[in-house]
Structure 1
């Protein structure tokens, strides 16, 4: 498994909140899905409110 760093932002009622998450995943697409899932469950967000930016292999 490789480690990926995913950055982006999500919308809250107070504006945009930026984030950076490090995740272990077999490829970039799985890393994106894990981050969407994590943010959705932690912050009660729908995927349409999350904007993924850069995904880099660490």
Structure 2
């Protein structure tokens, strides 16, 4: 497994909130899916409210 840094923004009450998270995943696509799931669960967001701008291998 590799470590990826995923960054982007999501819809919040006061506008958009930026985020940067690190995650262990098999590839960049899996890392994106985990982050979408995690943010959706933590903040009650739908996938359409989350915009991932960058996924880089750390």
* TM-score, scaled to structure 2: 0.98
Which runs of structure 1 show a deviation greater than 4 angstroms over 4 or more consecutive aligned residues? none
Give structure 2 stretches of 5+ with no counterpart. Answer: none
Q: Which residue is 1:49 aligned to?
A: 49
Q: Which residue is 2:32 aligned to?
A: 32
* TM-score, scaled to structure 1: 0.98
Residue-by-residue CA offset, 1:7-56 (whole Å, 9 max, x unaligned): 00001121000000000000000000000000000000000000001100
Give structure 1 stretches of 5+ with no counterpart. Answer: none
For these two proteins, the number of residue pairs brought into alignment is: 58
